[in-house]
Structure 1
Amino acid sequence: MYSYKSRVRYSECDGDGRLTLVSMIDYLQDCSTFHSEELGLGFRELKQKGYGWILAAWRIEIDRLPEFGEEIDVRTWCYEMKSLHAMRNFEILDAKGTSCVRAESQWLLYSLKDNKVIRIPSELEAYVEDTPRIPMPKMQRKLRAEGPGTQASPITVGEQFLDSNGHVNNAQYVLMAIGALEELGVEAPMSTVSVQYRSMARLGDVVVPVVHDAEDGRTIELLNNMGEVYAIVKLQER
């Protein structure tokens, strides 16, 4: 298991002084990146080999979002790796060791040269360890939007949205989804966040958010101009 300690910064908080959803996701992503660096398999090393990890999906359960100034312990571990995907858990604990956030995620290896998902080579098995999977509900195989949706304003992808591979960063899709809800004046529960990534938006692409009602929350599709899905974000109660 890899872990690092931090303290919730003012710049990461909302108007109530709580860690924002997107800042929380950034903590999880940073933890996995630090883990890779410690193993000598950081994004620079992988880029030299011609590939990089891409996030296919995750499910995040939130008991509470830590507040400004709180000390937190962010943890991650890879509990399974098969030929075409790796499974990784995350957890954020408070200073008392109480779990605030838990997540499960599925990752794919991507060829930067061929622009496609590839088999995971044996050298990356260094990620896998014996720490068991967190006992939490498994991710849905496929998120779907139900019924008619309401479109929010299209978003043109700028440099600030991109990651080191030139694609829109995973957390930015969630930020777009939340922005669409705010624009439309729609509320949504935030105790469970599920995201599935279907294709990669790049610099200059236009992302069209469409908000759908769901039985237990809201589903936000993030589409291209042809109506094809970049990502689907579902916000719901547990």
Structure 2
Amino acid sequence: MYTFESRVRYSECASDARLSLLGLVNYLQDCSCFQSESLGIGLDDMRRNHYAWFLSAWQIEIEDLPRFNTPIAVSTWCYGVKRLLASRNFTISGQDGTPYVRADSLWFLFDTKLGRPIKFPEPQMAYLEDTPRLDMPPTRRKIDVEGDFACAPALTVTRQHLDTNGHVNNAQYIQMALDALEQTGQALVPWRITVQYESMALLHDTVEPQVFRSEGGRTVRLARPDGEPYAIVRIEVRD
């Protein structure tokens, strides 16, 4: 298990002085990046060997959001590899052990020269460990959407949405979905966020958010102008 400690910064807070959902997801992906660096297979190695880790799916459960200046510990571990997918858990907790967030995720390795997923070479198996999976429902690779939907205003991808891979960062899709809920008058306080990533949105691409009613919450399809999804984000509330 890899862990780093921090404290909630003012720049990471929403208007209620608690960690924003965008800040939360950024902590999770930062943790996995820091682990890569600690193992010597970080960004420089990825550029040198033309590969990148891409997310296929998220499942994030939020017990509470820490307040500004709260000390936190962020942890991650890879508990399984099957075919082309690696499974990784995350937690965010207070340094006193208070649980805030737990998450499960599915990742694949992408060859940036060949433009396709690849099998895991031996150096990447350094992530795999015997820490067991968190007690969470299975993380699904497909999120079903059907029925009528409300359209939120379309948006254009700008440089602030991009990461080092040159496409929209995974956390930004979640923020787009949350913004779409607010813009259509359907804002929720999330308990569980699940995401299915389908295709890469690039600089100047148009994203058209479509908001569906779903059991226990809302589902947002972030679509291309042709209707195919970049990502599908489901926001569920606590029962």
Alignment TM class, shorter chain as reference: over 0.9
TM-score, length of structure 2 as denominator length: 0.97
Name the residue aligned to 1:166: 166
Displacement of 1:146: 2.7
Q: Distance in 2 between matches of 1:139 and 1:82?
A: 14
Q: 1:68 matched to which residue of 2?
A: 68
Query: Does the Cα contact within 8 Å between 2:57 and 2:140 map onto a contact in 1?
Result: no
1:182-221 matched pairs, under 5 angstroms: 182-221=182-221
Contact 1:51/1:109 (<8 A) preserved: yes
Structure 1 residue 182, shift from structure 2 partner? 1.4
What's the Cα RMSD here? 1.0
What is the Cα deviation at residue 116 of structure 1?
1.2
Q: Please state how far the C-alpha of 1:96 moved relative to its aligned partner.
A: 1.5
State how far apart, in whole Å, the 2-side matches of 1:39 and 1:77 are.
13
Work out whether residues 209 and 220 of structure 2, in 8 Å CA contact, stay in contact via their aligned partners in 1.
yes
**C-alpha separation in 1, matches of 2:27 and 2:189:** 21
Does structure 2 conserve the Cα–Cα contact (< 8 Å) formed by 1:78 and 1:127?
A: yes
CA positional deviation for 1:93: 0.7
The 2-side partners of 1:170 and 1:194 are apart by 12
Q: Which runs of 5+ in 1 are unaligned?
A: none
Q: What does residue 132 of structure 2 align with?
A: 132
Query: Does the Cα contact within 8 Å between 2:210 and 2:222 map onto a contact in 1?
Result: yes
Q: Cα distance 1:172–1:125, how it changes in 2: closer, same or farther (>3 A)? A: same
Superposed displacement of residue 152, structure 1: 0.9
Q: In 2, Cα distance between the equivalents of 1:109 and 1:55?
A: 9
Report which stretch shifted further, 222-231 or 142-151: 142-151
Q: Equivalent residue of 1:107, what SS?
A: strand
Mapped to 1, the partners of 2:208 and 2:116 lie a distance apart of 24
Partner of 1:44: 44
Matches within 5 A, 1:91-170: 91-170=91-170
Scaled by the length of structure 1, what TM-score is found?
0.97
Aligned with 2:188: secondary structure?
coil
Q: How many residues align?
A: 238
Gaps of 5+ in 2: none
